[in-house]
Amino acid sequence: MVATEDNFLFSYNITLLNASIKKAINRERTNVGRTAYAGLVRLMLLECASEEIGKELSDDLSRFSYGSSHDELKWIDVQNHAAKIMNKYQKVIFVTSDEIQQGTDLVEEARQGGSNVVVIPSNLRDKIFEANKDENDDNKIRIFQQFVQERSENFEFKFVSEYELTSDERSIFRLKDKIFEIIGEKPWRVQHITVSETMGKDPVTFYPFDGLWQASNSRIIIKRSVLQDKQRFCGVLLHEIAHARSGASDATRSFESELTQLLGIFASKTLL
């Protein structure tokens, strides 16, 4: 025995010594440091894909946020391996502590839907996020952002016709015609502007969208509560028009340029 590890989940039988262990073992030592064998231990764990070993690893990963996991689960590649196995055999969603705070209602919704919610460190979440980009949908590890995205894609709107709006809401909603007149015309891509009582949630902030451009349906959807404030409605509508005209998503150069151009047109025609 080269070492005793009181906080290891498993014991390990290393039968093929590498240069690191050979160098560490000498007559003056009764045991060797972990750095000598850590690499081989990790390789052993990463080779294990059975449900039995996977259950031990994944159960330990689920205790990570409580500080009671074993030392093997401090290695991020082992954490990632445990998450893969857990994802394979269980209905699970991996979240960070920040995501729980920001999206408490969504986390509870996931639990009510039968998912096991496991808290993981943010660096593991980021590693999984990057790895998911190269995986097909069946092999992706389900992190919180993916759950929110799936929820948004399957979300059902509760549309409200213009005649169901209050007189004040209708008055603000009809400002859309004046806005189109100011910017020159309604974009050809926009066929419909609708109002919904409910909206999906942003996969980054976890807050409900105020507005949404749906290119597939050629429509802009405005959340009904936005119609309580004239300034808010104008801002949201211009934002979504910029999406429709540019065909670009938030935080892109194309979208920002289009939005800047729209604001310039709007300001020049209303201020000068």
Whether 28 shows a pLDDT value over 60: the answer reads no
Best mean pLDDT range from 30-34, 39-43, 148-152, 199-203: 39-43
Whether 208 shows a pLDDT value over 90: the answer reads no
Best mean pLDDT range from 52-56, 127-131, 153-157: 127-131
Helix (H, G, I), strand (E, B) or coil at 144: helix
Handedness of CA 246, 204, 236, 253 (dihedral sign): negative
Give CB contacts under 8 A, 24+ apart, made by 251-259. Answer: none
Rounded CA-CA distance 84/49 in Å is: 9
Whether 27 shows a pLDDT value over 60: the answer reads no
What is the pLDDT at residue 238? 96
What is the pLDDT at residue 104? 85
Alpha-helical (H) ranges within 67-185 are: 76-89, 97-102, 104-112, 122-132, 144-153, 167-173, 175-183
The fold for domain 159-271 equals Zincin-like (3.30.2010)
Please give the mean pLDDT across all residues of the chain. Answer: 89
Q: Where in the chain are the domains? A: 1-89, 91-154, 159-271
Contact 143, 125 (CB under 8 A): yes
pLDDT interval class at 30 (50, 70, 90): low
Closest CA to 53 of 116, 88, 10, 107: 10
CA torsion, points 166, 168, 173, 178, in degrees to nearest 10? 150
Tokens of 75: 């290695």
Contact 212, 200 (CB under 8 A): yes
Window from 115-119, 179-183, 242-246 with minimum mean pLDDT? 115-119
Window from 73-87, 145-159, 241-255 with minimum mean pLDDT? 145-159
The residue behind tokens 């300034």 is 231
Burial degree of 239 (CB within 10 A; 0-12, 13-18, 19+): middle
What is the pLDDT at residue 32? 82
Burial degree of 23 (CB within 10 A; 0-12, 13-18, 19+): exposed
What is the pLDDT at residue 29? 62
Contact 229, 204 (CB under 8 A): no
